[in-house]
Chain A
């Protein structure tokens, strides 16, 4: 109970609710963070001796709040509260506080904490860095490593983002139902940004951990909003995508496409949870983009072999997604399914009109090259692959396309 691993896990999971509550008290992120930090240090000192409290969250809020108030008083040369080690029993105060904080309070506190990280005027990268620092509690060096930037640069990025949110005037009253659902949508988008930062990072393990953090945030949101089908969908989507992590790259860090992945390496536990959630979500008959994307991922996950994939179902789901969220990237993805169901000619015809809008998009030329290759138009395929390489965002992407080109050259005897 008092071993360091358990205490660390307890502190990690208590962070969002405790920090969220402290933020509500102090209306200031820095003060709240310092208070929480203080409480954690005291927890590390006292829990191994006295045993962990009955409600770690409430303990941390209480001790953090006292520590911060103490600091304010000390600065004002007034008398502070006695340190919690000398308090004979925190239990009564703790229980009362826990009661007040249960349920809806925690929910709005955590939502607010997440919401301040996704102010619309903050660029994506800053939203992600803030969420990782503030909500997940990752250290600046950890985040810097994930984004392959220097610690000083990351520190500066986070400081700047915090200054922005300090001016943003986040409301501290209990949100209305409409505000709550707006916040939830913004927060869900931000959590998915965190996930994608990890997912698109190739085989960089520091960044791959972001996927795990995003899933933890999604599970947390789902605990707070258990009947929201889009939150179920988002969680399912990330679980199903992350389940393939061990199969997505080879030993050299190069991409392995879905069709070529060793499905035995897929994580069955994550898939089971993802499928359970998307099943549940779809019962509500309130579809949304996360649910549709999760349903697509579920069809891949359910196929024991690539040839068992229900491509017609995937085509239909992408068609639904195109209606909800029209975007050339969605159409491009749909074209891949179309190429499997109705052949590469139709798929190619489908993506040709996208050339203008996707002219700078790696995957557009990758897919175009693949369709042309299937149609035996190797010269044009080669040209498309060349363009893809020029646009590759990671070494793994470039290496994958180069492999295709090499195959083309070998087959043409050149």
Chain B
């Protein structure tokens, strides 16, 4: 069963981490990620830039309206997500708990996936500026 683990946290707090704190969290997550990948449970994952870099297309009118900023003003923001392949919800929660131990604070929303189109491009897209 495919689940998405949606990572929510207070963006201001997360972007207040020092470089060392950020690296420490990322290193801890990398360990968990590798373990879960070996167990065949971890799929793609990504981290989003701050919501200040977001643009929203409101489709409720024609033509759609382009708005600066995220879709919803919330106390905690969507900062990234993982795709996991596990047996059931209990298993998914287990994965989320492992990730939570490496990266405390905020919340994970565990959401079953209805349709998944894998990335057909190869190699993986670059995350850098080029």
A interface, CB within 8 angstroms of B: 1-3, 5-6, 9-10, 12-14, 55-56, 103, 212, 216, 219-220, 222-223, 226-227, 232, 235, 266, 268-269, 271-273, 275-277, 280, 283-284, 301-302, 304
Contact = CB atoms under 8 A, between A and B. Distances in A.
A396 B130 CA distance: 30
Q: Do most interface residues of chain A lie in helix, strand or loop, or is the interface mixed?
A: helix
Contact of B16 (A216, A227, A272, A273): A216
A283 B66 CA distance: 10
Most buried by A among B15, B67, B75, B129: B129
Of B12, B17, B52, B68, most A-chain CB atoms within 10 Å: B52
Interface string B53-75: 10100000000001111000101
Which of B19, B50, B68, B75 gathers the greatest number of chain A CB atoms within 10 Å? B68
Interface of B: 10-17, 19, 21, 24, 49-53, 55, 66-69, 73, 75, 104-105, 127-130
A13 B12 contact: yes
A271 B104 CA distance: 27
Nearest to B100: A1
B105 A276 contact: no
Contact of A6 (B11, B73, B104): B104
Contact of B129 (A3, A56, A212, A302): A302
28 contacts: A1-B105, A5-B24, A6-B105, A9-B14, A10-B13, A12-B16, A13-B15, A13-B16, A14-B12, A55-B75, A103-B73, A219-B50, A219-B52, A223-B51, A226-B52, A226-B68, A227-B69, A266-B129, A268-B129, A269-B49, A273-B49, A273-B50, A275-B129, A276-B49, A276-B53, A283-B66, A284-B68, A301-B129
Given A13-B10, A226-B69, A227-B68, A268 B128 contact: yes
A6 B69 CA distance: 26
Contact of A219 (B15, B17, B55, B104): B15
A272 B49 contact: yes
A304 to B, nearest CB: 6
A212 B130 CA distance: 24
Most chain A CB within a 10 A radius of its CB, from B13, B14, B17, B75: B13
Given A5-B24, A268-B129, A273-B50, 16 more contacts: A1-B104, A2-B104, A6-B13, A6-B104, A9-B13, A12-B16, A216-B15, A216-B16, A223-B12, A223-B52, A226-B52, A227-B67, A232-B52, A235-B52, A271-B129, A280-B68
Contacts of B53: 273, 276-277, 280
Which residue, B21, B66, B105, has most C-beta atoms of chain A within 10 A?
B105
A9 B21 contact: yes
Contacts of B67: 227
